[in-house]
Amino acid sequence: MAVCVAVIAKENYPLYIRSVPTESELKFHYMVHTSLDVVDEKISAMGKALVDQRELYLGLLYPTEDYKVSVFPNQLCRYGYVTNSKVKFVMVVDSSNTALRDNEIRSMFRKLHNSYTDVMCNPFYNPGDRIQSRAFDSMVTSMMVQVC
Amino acid sequence: MSVPDYMQCAEDHQTLLVVVQPVGIVSEENFFRIYKRISSVSQVSVRDSQRVLYIRYRHHYPPENNEWGDFQTHRKVVGLVTITDCFSAKDWPQTFEKFHVQKELYGATLYDSRLFVFGLQGEIAEQPRTDVAFYPSYEDCGTVEKRIEDFIESLFIVLESKRLDRATDKSGDKIPLLCVPFEKKDFVGLDTDSRHYKKRCQGRMRKHVGDLCLQAGMLQDSLVHYHMSVELLRSVNDFLWLGAALEGLCSASVIYHYPAGTGGKAGARRFQGSSLPAEAANRHRPGAQEVLIDPGALTTNGINPDTSTEIGRAKNCLSPEDIIDKYKEAISYYSKYKNAGVIELEACVKAVRVLAIQKRSMEASEFLQNAVYINLRQLSEEEKIQRYSVLSELYELIGFHRKSAFFKRVAAMQCVAPSISEPGWRACYKLLLETLPGYSLSLDPQDFNKGTHRGWAAVQMRLLHELVYASRRMGNPALSVRHLSFLLQTMLDFLSDQEKKDVTQSLENYTSKCPGTMELIALPDGLPLPPVPFTKLPIVRRVKLLNLPASLRPQKMKSLLGQSVSTKSPFIYSPIVAHGRGEERSKKIDFQWVQGDVCEVQLMVYNPMPFELRVENMGLLTGGVEFESLPAALSLPAESGLYPVTLVGVPQTAGTITVHGYHTTVFGVFSDCLLDHLPGVKTSGCTVEVTPALPRLQASTSLPRSAHSLQPSSGDEVSTNVSVQLYNGETQHLVVKLENIGMEPLEKLEVTSKILTTKEKLYGDFLSWKLEETLAQFPLQPGKVATFTVSIKVKLDFSCQENLLQDLGDDGISVSGFPLCSPFRQVVRPRVDGKAVSAAESSRPGDPSHVKTLEAVLNFKYSGGPGLAEGYYRSLSLGLHVEVEPSLFFTRVSTLPATSTRQCHLLLDVFNSTEHELTVSARGSDELILHAGECQRMAIQVDKFNFESFPESPGEKGQFANAKQLEEERQEARGLEINSKLDIHWTIPSLKRTGEASVEGLLNQLVLEHLQLAPLLWDVLVDGQPCDREAAACHVGDPVRLEVRLTNRSPRSVGPFALSVVPFQDHQNGVHSYNLHHAVSFVGSGTFHLDAVQPSGQSACLGALLFLCTGDFFLHIRFHEDSSSKGLPPSWFCLPSVHVRALEARA
């Protein structure tokens, strides 16, 4: 169901992006890129809230409207998650077959966040570089395979 | 109704729609000139009231939209203005006919119409008509605005009458059912008397009245009507019209809350035109929060004709939050009807505009999303473009730049969709350019110089590719080259190897037709497109200005330098000044370039591409001085490491030159890369001084060049090295040809030499020359040659190395330590002359370990031309490498007293270390022939030397504090003196080489002492004749006068001395017989006494001998051992032995 997972840096450029139908990767790039508008909007809206009380999960960003434009067969929903350091996770989920519950998405994001934290803990990782960790990669793969 | 008007906004509900159209053939230019003037009259205050009418002009309006005019009155065309050309009266009826046809088109809804006729003059034009206006030309039509105002007033009268007419309909009367086109058939056969039907009619009519009130400028009335309509329609579930009523309510509230308008520019203008609504809004603002009027309080069947009691109260107005809720509700009702798609879409757009003003982006995006979903009928391509553009604009409005860019890009793609027969590449390109900010991409490469690229590379790259493609299809190759260069330059890190190849290939294809330049390209909309220098192809890591080669380096003459320093500051050194200067010229390099000479700048570059990179026309960009850059072409291997590239050029004038950067041509794109804009470039300064032109000297010599370079420690950089092999003691002439290969005359030349430190001790002048002969040929014009002769004389130590001595089975110490000092003639142990040398030893002379090396640098300082005037000179160094092979050795040196005390024999054991036969000659002695490896003794009779007589300048010597040094100095001087006396030469006949040999190095203290005249000169006179060597003759029986004379040359007084004369006979067999009482008798005392002698004094004592028989007698004069002679060296008491031959007594 997760067809695309992206990690986006604070400065809004991708640290990691992977999608399942690899041939239409660029479409996912556009999809994730446009979702950043909503992410930004949501972050600025909750900017005043206390940091520790903040909900990291942003919920549904967009249901699938653009893909009337660029014909996409499935129903794709985009969910967002933002860490305290303003690193964003965006997940594109294929919801045509199974309706996912919010909690499932939430736990997927939590997993992603944990894995991302592990990547950051690697002393050889340069913050701001593309994530090339194999562990992270396999975790993402598991998230994608798990449902597909 | 199928054509949505995406530009609609809530305020449009209060406008009257007027269509302005041309009839017949009217040029577009003229039409729009008039249209513009007409549409400037967009709001009109009605004379007798506070109300303001707003007019919306359209030059095109689909009649099917007009059919929805009952549903929302602002969709109804109420006025028609036609513009026409008519030049002759006979055309007039036809024209007028056309006007009527046009009127028919909107006939049902029109309140009034006007015809503007241009060009017609004459009687027809004279007739006063209300619906036709005549103007002689498009220039001369000053009353157009006035006419329009009148026209609008007439519209207002109709509107007002309609409003009043509808509003005052009695509740009991039959109210007609208003309906939208698609509803008509639904109501066929419906019971028109039912309460439900009546309510529906009432509700719809209320809504209609509300619309009219709104158009007529009665905002409060309209609010009341809308509220009532909502109530009525809600009760009968007439959803379409309920939605319309709600939307009307929203529109009225928006107009109330946001008098500045929601539609952008148009709204702003409206606001400027009338400040009244703004004031009203301010006045009523608090009221907006009040509780809405209870709709239930109104009678359900009765419409109160007079709502004036409500006027001035804002109670009916919706709060900003409610507006959105009501919009949502309205849209949800609309969405129930497929045929109302356009209405729904427009409502969404209007709501978004309101939300944009309220800055509620999230909700606005929801509305927009909904708008995207609304499926209209199959849209034409043009409509699709419009739709996407509008979506993009709306997203932009709510601050969703990325979304906006996405839709704009989709619109751009739509412009060139394959289904379109004539793709609009220009429009596509324009739209794509507008998406740039959304993808946070700037087309200025400078923005990418700051640190690493931070952006969504994948989408940016895609966009750039599209720009390239669009600009190419647009037929602007320069633009596509620029975009492609930009793509390559800024996205290099993100391109895969294959993409790099593809991009460069297509870039090369484009540039073959249109080379990339460094000029700004102005985009169609006036935006300048900055040039893209390829600073990453290749990447430059380091820029270093290179000094000239040592031989060409200009140097400042010392005296001038001193002056210049002293003028700058009175201090020799001041940290403050130095610091300040360091700041100021932090980039200035402390060497100079010379005008007219090739100067070099070294760049360390590397090629980031996965293939070979050909860089052509790479040269320097400089400033400050005229500089002729000599471009280079280079080819860098794929993904090379750092690669040094040297760029050269010739400064044409003197001054200060600054290297700003470099230019390249890569893939047909010219780039000027300025160093200031390059990130991560290391440079040690880019400013250097250029001195005036100087001549250039090239030296060539008679000797072969040497590959052997001097030790690096020598300090000087030597341009040419020559080498020569010489035997020790040989002299050779080196002819140096000096050629002026520069452009300036050579006027000045100085020559110095420097012998590099060597362990070998060198005797005599190694290098000597006469400069005068060369200087006579000056000034040396360019291209001329002067010669200069240097004589090289090698005179190394001729003494034997210790190991050689050992080889010869002896040690020098025993020889030199031999007590030759004895005043007696000693028998020297006989030596085996010409001792055969073993094979091993014979090979030794050629052994390279014996070859010694001497190195020297000849330094030519020269100057001329303008450089000389500025006080610069150049120096050319010539390295000289001399290999000295040993010629002969003096393995051993000793002295033998000669027969005369004033002379002595110097015995030299000469060893021929060459592989050739060698002859040795010394002054006054025969030639000695030595075979290779042979050693022979050579005896040279020399006069003893009076070293004390050498002048010694005490002042000079006084400088040497070290007594030992002083002593060495003295010894050297003595050696030189001895050597010049000896004048030993050698010749190798087979090689025809000759040379000198020197004993300077091997004279030790003892030998020197022996060679030295003792300070006490003793002379023995026999019969008044000085007796030395030769036997003095005397006759038996005659007394022989013996005089001993002492000359004191020592610096102190000596004596007194007592001498005793001991006669003896030498039997020549080693036996000396001293018992000669019978043969010799003394006349007087046998002991002589000498008084003390003052320095440089003389003293003598006399005695006599009587020989009693014939024979050869020797007299040994002995000193008596006493205190006075103590402390003086024994060699001082070296008296000649006297040989007296007693002959037969004279007859």
| Interface contact flag, B458 A62, Cβ < 8 Å | no
* Facing A13 at nearest CB: one of B369, B372, B454: B454
Are the Cβ atoms of A29 and B456 closer than 8 angstroms?
Answer: yes
Contact B458 A29 (CB under 8 A): yes
How far, in Å, CA of B858 to CA of B880, rounded? 7
User: What does the alpha-carbon distance between residue B131 and residue B134 come to, in Å, rounded to a whole number?
Assistant: 10
Please state which of the ranges B281-295, B317-331, B651-665, B1044-1058 shows the lowest mean pLDDT: B281-295
The mean per-residue pLDDT over the stretch B60-88 comes to 83
pLDDT in tens, B414-434: 888 887 778 888 888 888 888
C-alpha angle with apex B404: B401 to B407, nearest 5 degrees? 155
- Of A26, A37, A65, which is closest to B458 when you measure between CB atoms? A26
Which pLDDT value is given to residue B900?
A: 66
Q: Is A59 left (phi over 0), alpha (psi -120 to 50) or beta?
A: left
Residue B833 token pair: 């002359």
Average pLDDT over residues B198-219: 85
* Percent share of chain B, pLDDT over 90: 0
Per CB-CB distance under 8 Å, the chain A contacts of B454 are 9, 11, 13
At residue A51, φ and ψ (nearest 5 deg) are: -60, -45
Type of residue numbered A12: N
Partner residues linked to B118 by β-bridges: B85, B135
Is 80 exceeded by the pLDDT of residue B951?
A: no
CA atoms within 13 A of residue B576's CA, in its CB half-sphere: 2
**ipTM (interface predicted TM):** 0.88
Q: Does A87 touch chain B (CB under 8 A)?
A: no
Phi-psi region of B743 (alpha: psi -120 to 50; beta: other; left: phi over 0): alpha
* Chain A interface disruption, residue of B459, B461, B466, B491, most A CBs within 10 A: B459
Q: What is the pLDDT of residues B468-495, one digit of tens each?
A: 888 888 888 888 888 888 888 888 888 8
Return the residue of B nearest to A61 by Cα: B362
CA–CA separation, B488 and B491 (whole Å):
6
Contacts of A70 in chain B (CB under 8 A): 410
Q: Which spans in B320-400 are helix H?
A: 320-334, 341-358, 361-373, 381-397
Smallest Cβ–Cβ distance between A34 and the set B403, B440, B452 belongs to: B403
Tell the residue number behind the tokens 């220039």, with chain if given. Answer: B139
Selected for mutation to probe chain A from B374, B387, B397, B406 (highest A CB count within 10 Å) is B406
Kindly state whether A118 is in contact with chain B, defined as any CB-CB distance less than 8 angstroms: no
Q: Measuring CA to CA, how many Å separate B325 from each of B241, B243, B249, B320, B330?
A: 17, 12, 11, 9, 9
Give how far B526 is from chain A: nearest CA, Å: 28
DSSP helix, strand, coil percent of chain B (3-state; round to 5): 35, 30, 35
Q: How many CB pairs under 8 A join A and B?
A: 65
Give me the residue from B406, B440, B455 closest to A66, CB to CB.
B406
* B433 Cβ contact list (under 8 Å, min separation 6): B467, B523, B525, B527
Using the Cα atoms of residue B72, residue B358, residue A63 and residue B462 in order, give the sign of their dihedral: positive
pLDDT of the residue at A115 = 92
The per-residue pLDDT for range B289-339, each reduced to its tens digit, is 333 333 333 333 334 444 444 444 456 778 888 888 888 888 888 888 888
Q: Is A86's Cβ below 8 Å from some Cβ in B?
A: no
Residue B656 pLDDT class (50, 70, 90 cuts): confident
Q: Domains in chain A and their CATH numbers?
A: 2-143 (3.30.450.70)
Confidence of residue B663 (pLDDT cuts 50, 70, 90): confident
Residues of A in contact with B402 (CB under 8 A): 33-34, 36-37
Residue B957: what pLDDT? 44
Per the CB < 8 Å rule, is A9 touching B361? Answer: no
**What pLDDT does B1147 receive?**
62
User: Among partner residues A26, A36, A41, which is closest to B362 by beta-carbon distance?
Assistant: A41
Among candidates A14, A26, A38 on the partner chain, residue whose Cβ is nearest the Cβ of B365: A38
CB contact under 8 A, A26 and B459: yes
Residue B464 with chain A: CB contacts under 8 Å: none
Distances (CA, A) of B1126 to B1006, B1054, B1088, B1121, B1132: 20, 10, 18, 8, 11
Closest A-chain CA to B461 = A26
Q: Express each pLDDT in B595-616 by its tens digit.
A: 888 888 888 888 888 888 888 8
The residue written with tokens 């040398």 in the block is B837
**Helix (H), strand (E) at residue B855:** strand B852-863
**Greatest mean pLDDT range, B147-156, B693-702, B823-832, B1091-1100:** B147-156
Taking only the tens place, the pLDDT of each residue in B221-246 is: 888 888 888 888 888 888 888 888 88
